[in-house]
Amino acid sequence: MIDGYILTGGASSRMGADKAHLRLGGLSFVERIARALNAVTMRVSVVSSKADAEVWGLPVVRDVHAGCGAIGGVHAALAHSQATCVVIVSCDLPFVSAELFARLASLSNEDSHKVCDGDRERARVEESREIFDAVAPVQADGFPQPLCAIYRREVCLPVTERLIEQREFRPRRMLQEVRTRWVGEHELSDLDGSSFFFLNVNTPADYAAARSLADPVPPPGIK
pLDDT, position 58: 94
Distance between CA atoms of residues 125 and 12, nearest Å: 47
Closest C-alpha to 27, from 66, 2, 56 = 56
pLDDT, position 67: 85
Beta strands 2-7 and 43-47, pairing class: parallel
Residues in the chain: 223
Decide: 7 and 92 in contact? Cβ < 8 Å: no
pLDDT, position 18: 76
pTM assigned to the model = 0.85
Q: How is the chain split into domains, by residue range?
A: 2-213
Give the contacts of 85 (CB within 8 A, at least 6 positions apart). 1, 2, 3, 105, 108, 150, 151, 152, 153
Distance between CA atoms of residues 198 and 138, nearest Å: 10
| Superfamily of chain region 2-213 | Spore Coat Polysaccharide Biosynthesis Protein SpsA; Chain A (3.90.550.10)
pLDDT digits (tens, 9 = 90+) for 86-108: 999 999 999 999 999 999 999 98
Q: What is the residue-wise DSSP string for the chain?
A: -EEEEEE-----TTTTS-GGG-EETTEEHHHHHHHHHHTT-SEEEEE---TTGGGGSS-EE--SSTTSTHHHHHHHHHHH--SSEEEEEETT-TT--HHHHHHHHHTTEE-S-S---HHHHHHHHHHH-EE-SEEEEB-TTS-B-TTEEEEEHHHHHHHHHHHHHTT---HHHHHHHS-EEEE-GGGTTTSTTGGGTT----SHHHHHHHHHHH-SSPPTT--
Q: Which residues, given as ranges, of the chain have pLDDT below 50?
A: 111-118, 121-128, 217-223
pLDDT digits (tens, 9 = 90+) for 32-45: 999 999 999 999 99
pLDDT, position 20: 81
Distance between CA atoms of residues 215 and 205, nearest Å: 15
